[in-house]
Amino acid sequence: MASQSLTVAEFIELPIVKAGLPELVAGSEGLDAEVRWVHPLDVPDVSDLLRGGEMILTTGVSIGEDAAAQRRFVRDLEAEGAVGIAVELGFAWNRELPKALVDEADRRHIPMVAFRRGIRFVEVSEVVNGSLLDSGHALARRGEELHRSLDRLVLEGEAAEAILAEVSRRIGNPVVLEDARGELVALGSVSRQEDEVVDTWSGLKWSDRDPGEAEGAVAVPVMVRGRTWGRVIALQADAEFDRFTPIALERAAVAVGLGLMRGGEEAELRARSRGNLLFELAAGLMEPLSAARRAASLGFPRRHGQLVPVAAVWRPDALDQGVGYEEAWASLLPAIRAAMAEPDRPALLGSRGNCVLGVLDRGTLGSEPDDVASRERLARRFAGVLSRHEVEPSSVALAIGGAAGGWEELAPALVRARFAAEAGAAGPVRAWHDASRTEIGQLLLSMRGSPELAQFSDERLGPLLDLPGERGRDLLDTLEVYLHSGGRKTEAAAELEIERQSLYHRLARIEEVLDVDLRDGDTVLALHLAVMVRRLLRN
């Protein structure tokens, strides 16, 4: 059996199975089906427990005496891909299996076996599954199954994380991807939290004689266009490595390499990896200590000064149609990171959707991180990168926060920076926005889950939007520009590219439609808030 497949008929004839005095009671037409795995099962709901090709061992205690439940049990096993059912008598049924159970198995051509002598399911599983795992046929089949699965992921454009997750599921252990510098780029794990995987990976001690060997790990290089880009590593965290582990890693390395050959994949991977860290920290999904360790694995120093949060958000309609936010950020982030960092104080930046979050060591802003001149220099570097990449700087809103003492203080500081950037993207263009103090836009964004905000805006601006055609939209744009210019009519007319007299007519019409007086301070304040709420909620 070590080099051949195992059919249901052959399973019944195995010595360890024959010891239970097996009797085939149904489904003789299915005896040639191939057994991929032996699975003890005593639960009524079998959904999502099987992968196909399993021979089920059960006592029947979870099936029950209800005929409908017995038939459903067989149907569910067939739907999950089981190829046979073996039931030990003496637990749920003493002399024979229920007619409903046997008839349903026979009708569906699923072999059903009754064990008339007690048998230890665990011993049957260990012997048969061990032989299946060791067989060359089984290894080749598992390798081909994984190969097809990974090919599908690559063709569908899935990122490296999806490939690593699939391999992790197949080998029962976490898998990580690191680059040639030894920085962690991506990981996949079906059973371990990210910080556990990072801790295990960072604690590996690689052999001096063989850099591909470490206790509790197996590594395979990832080749991209003839050079070693990095390597995929399996971590022995949940299960013992078997002969399939290196086969699975070889398949993973090829699939990751193919993905990296697509333009921008490498940059997107790095941006996503750093973005996942910063966005999860900001959302309170990661402990500060775990964030610090994860940042170190991405090249950010463990020893640093105060941390300065930054955020950047694309303005609405800033990108050409068909260009995604992630794709656009991926091409810019390496240059932005280099511009914002210093040789001994690297920056950490990552993207998610239309937003970039970043953290800088205090040294990148000089000795006084809250100094306005230092922030302006940083903003000029940022704008310079955009210009060099033929991106209009005004299409992105940049926010720079106050220095945080450590990772514990960084999470709320990142949230403030993101709110400031999002508010800035919905308002007038500025070189940068100060996230160290709460402005009106940030305050409104922090309250955007409140239905009263939308109601407030609709009540104030609704009559304009109810006007037919584009007239209401034009008047709302006029009101917005007028309010953002602080009521300076000359400035507002110039921005709208209309004559001052035309502006006067529009303002008079706005007052008439809304039944307001734009000379009243409270009215202007309420309308300005309503306009800001509408822009922020709309975006």
Residue 445 lies in a domain: no
Question: Is the same domain home to 186 and 148?
Answer: yes
Alpha helix locations (H) across 283-406?
Answer: 288-297, 325-340, 372-388
Question: Is the same domain home to 178 and 310?
Answer: no
What pLDDT does residue 47 have?
A: 77
Residue 446 lies in a domain: no
* Sign for the pseudo-dihedral over CA of 183, 185, 191, 194: positive
Question: Is the same domain home to 23 and 105?
Answer: yes
Query: Domain holding 98: CATH number?
Result: 3.40.1390.20
Residue 322 lies in a domain: yes
Domain's final residue, options 409, 439, 469: 439
> For strand 433-434 and strand 396-400, is the pairing parallel, antiparallel, or unpaired?
parallel
What pLDDT does residue 373 have?
A: 79
The tens place of each residue's pLDDT in the chain, 539 residues long, gives 333 468 899 999 998 899 899 999 999 999 999 888 899 998 878 877 887 889 999 998 888 889 999 999 999 999 888 999 999 998 888 889 999 999 999 999 999 999 998 888 988 988 888 777 666 656 767 777 888 888 888 877 787 888 999 999 999 999 999 988 888 888 888 888 887 888 888 888 876 666 666 888 989 999 888 889 899 999 998 888 887 888 899 999 988 888 887 655 666 677 777 777 888 888 887 788 888 888 887 778 776 678 889 999 998 877 766 567 877 887 888 888 888 876 666 788 888 888 999 998 865 454 444 567 788 888 999 999 999 998 999 999 999 988 887 888 888 889 889 988 888 887 778 899 888 877 777 677 767 667 777 788 888 888 888 888 788 888 888 888 888 888 888 888 888 888 888 888 999 999 888 888 888 888 888 888 888 888 776 65
Question: Is the same domain home to 166 and 253?
Answer: yes
Residue 344 lies in a domain: yes
Counted domains in the chain: 4
- To which residue do tokens 């067939």 refer? 78
Question: Is the same domain home to 16 and 48?
Answer: yes
Residue type, 261: M
Residue 505 lies in a domain: yes
Question: Is the same domain home to 123 and 142?
Answer: no
Query: Domain holding 432: CATH number?
Result: 3.30.70.270
Radius of gyration of the chain (CA): 32
Residue 177 lies in a domain: yes
What pLDDT does residue 57 have?
A: 94
Query: Domain holding 483: CATH number?
Result: 1.10.10.2840
Question: Is the same domain home to 126 and 188?
Answer: no
Question: Is the same domain home to 302 and 431?
Answer: yes
How far is it, in rounded angstroms, from Cα 216 to Cα 174?
A: 11
Domain's final residue, options 204, 232, 262: 262
Per-position b or e across 336-355, b if 16+ CB within 10 A of its CB: bbebbbeeebbbbbbbbebb
* Contact (CB, 8 A) for 270 and 185: yes
What pLDDT does residue 114 have?
A: 94
pTM over 0.75: no
Question: Is the same domain home to 57 and 192?
Answer: no
Domain's final residue, options 247, 262, 277: 262
How far is it, in rounded angstroms, from Cα 376 to Cα 407?
A: 25
Please tell me the number of Cα atoms within 13 Å of 353 on its side-chain side: 9
Query: Domain holding 199: CATH number?
Result: 3.30.450.40
Question: Is the same domain home to 30 and 104?
Answer: yes
What pLDDT does residue 166 have?
A: 92
Residue 1 lies in a domain: no
Q: How many residues does the structure list for the chain?
A: 539
Question: Is the same domain home to 94 and 219?
Answer: no
Per-position b or e across 175-211, b if 16+ CB within 10 A of its CB: bbbbbeeebbbbbbbbebebeebbebbeeeeeeeeee
Question: Is the same domain home to 125 and 30?
Answer: yes
Residue 145 lies in a domain: yes
Residue numbers of the domain that contains 519: 451-538
Q: Kindly give, in sequence order, each residue whose CB lies less than 8 Å from that of residue 17, ignoring residues fewer than 6 positions away.
A: 11, 86, 119, 124, 128
